[in-house]
Every structure is written in structure tokens, then in C-alpha cells.
Amino acid sequence: MRLKSYSARSVSAAMAQIREELGDDAIIVATHEESGGAVRVTAAVDQAGAPDLLPGADPADRRRLQPVADTSEIVDTVYDALRRHAVPSSVSDPILDEVEIADADTPLDALAAALSAIFRFEPFDIGGWTKPMMPVGVPGSGKTQTVVKLAVRGLLAGQRVAVLTTDVERTGGLAALSAFTRALRLDLVTAHDPTALADGLMTIGNHDVILVDTAGANHLDAREVAELAGLGLGGRIEQFLVLSAGLDAGEACDIALSFRELGVGRMVVTRLDLARRLGSVLAAAHTANIAFAEISNTPMIKNGLAPVDPERLATLLLGGKATGVERTGQGVGTAS
């Protein structure tokens, strides 16, 4: 296996050099931005002429070893979008690999295909929940608003909705949720500990949608994370992560990994109206293997959440408009 790096003004220009020197059997190994706006692309080719797996690669992942295709304009467009969103190379490189082999005619279709191959997408199905749902996350991430938005969605769908909260000690926490539930004409059940929570769930077990609010937990405090894990009642409640957009990518990954230890499998991304870059969000989902569920970028309660699928996320990354979530001049978009 022969490895060589090429520097050029764009990814497509580097790919042209690669094809000229290494031939059509070359594969892209990594892509990095250099100073002055140039890029460095590392390619590999089997010295015998046939592509082979790189050391440490997954033997089942042979679809990456396809010949470099002439998709320069699409690759450049996606590369520029990922760079604008400050997506770490550990995430952008696999995405670009998928874009290169995607059977697509537009950057949107190619990026959507790449996101579908790399990330998981599991939007909430209000009518099909089998467990109570509990948002978890650091303080200020938007858990209580997420509970209210999901409650409204359930009510609008004709579901019987119940709301509980374990956030009974934080100043103002209980008052804020109480105000929302009164406005929605819903009773609010409080629980100070896992035992009280289990008892509360028994009293409302006939509801279609059961939502349990929680206080924010410090992901760096093992005690707080352990207490939050106890509120999951051994898997009887589905805990999902609520993550704010606009964080440092490293911090977002640390948060996601900490809550992933609780068994969290899905996440809601909030505050897109306050963030221009989604790199941290992609990094967190990729690093912790957490599925995208919903996104929110408005404090408005009705229609305040939008399900995420590969096309919607690709549209946001490329700076366009997606149904329910549109690009604005301030942040990534505004939910309608």
C-alpha cells in the first residue's frame, strides 16, 4: 500500500493530481485544511494496482475502496460546508469519503446519503411510545422546554398526556414547569427520588404520552450522573439527551459520552437559532453513537420541535431551507 499527500487550492484539484499520478484505483484516506485556504488530501493505492484495506480498517467496510470518482464540484461544495460548520476532521473525513462514492447528482443528495450512512436518525413517534420519556443533559440545555413542546405535540395529536418532574430542588425549576402545565390544563406529578417516581408512574400508567422532566446534571460529577441513572428505573424510562448547539466540539463530545453511559440512544438538539455552526453537534453524535431525534431553534412551544432526517440535516449544513426548519440570518434556522 502506497500513501501520498497532495496540497492544492481545493479538494477537486487535489483529486485531479491523485488520479493523474496514482490512477483511478486511489482511495482518499484523509482531508485536512491548511493555512491560506489550501487543502491537503492523503490518498492510498495498492502498489500492485488493486485497492486493499488499510491497516486497522474494518474488513466489512470495502465500499470505501471504490475508485475516486469525478465528483469534484459536489465534493468541494460539501467540503466548504463542513469547513464553515467547523466539523472536526475525524467526522468530516468519513462524510467526504461517503460523498465521493454516493450515487448522487447534487451536493444535497450526496451529503444526505453520506449522513445516512454515518449517523442514525430516530425521530420521536408520539403515537408509538411504549415507555415514559425523560430528557437528560447539562443545566440550561432546554430540557423543560423540550418536555413542554413534546406535551403540546401529544395533545395536538389527541393523545392523553401526563407530565412528571424530578426537578424539585432547583430554584424556579418547578415553578416554570408548573406554569406551563397549568396553561395546558395538565396535572403535574412531582417525585423526589426513584421510589416516588415509580409510584407516580403507577398512578398515570393509562396515559399515551408520559414525560418526566429532570434537573440538569453536571456531566463531570460522577455522583450527579449516577443519581440521574437511578431515575431511569432500570430501563423502564427512556432517557434521551438534550444538547445545545454552539458548544465547543470537544465539550459536546464529553457531554454526549457521559450521558451515553446512562444508555441514552437519541438526542434533541436545541438553540440552533443561537448557533452558526453545527460541527459540535455532528461530533457529539458521531463520537457517542447517539441518534438524531429532533431539533429546536425557537422558544415557541407549538411546532417548536422538528424531526431530523438526513435530508433535513444536509439542507441545514448546506445553508438552505428545510421543511419546518429554515435558514435565517442569525443562526442555523428557525422552526416554523
Domains and their CATH numbers in the chain: 2-118 (no CATH), 126-335 (3.40.50.300)
Q: Which residue has the higher pLDDT, 317 or 204?
A: 317
Q: Which three cell numbers stand for residue 182?
A: 397549568
Structure confidence by residue, pLDDT tens digits, 32-44: 777 667 787 877 7
Segment 200-214 shows an average pLDDT of 90
pLDDT at 256: 97
Q: What share of the chain is helix, strand, coil (3-state, %, to 5)?
A: 40, 20, 40
DSSP annotation of 121? B
Average pLDDT, the chain: 83
> Is-contact 295 325, C-beta < 8 A?
yes
Residue 239: what pLDDT? Answer: 95
Model confidence pLDDT, tens digit, residues 140-197: 999 999 999 999 999 999 999 999 999 877 656 688 888 889 988 998 999 999 999 9
Percent of the chain with pLDDT over 90: 50
Under 8 Å between Cβ of 85 and 317? yes
The arithmetic mean of pLDDT across residues 64-93, rounded, is 79
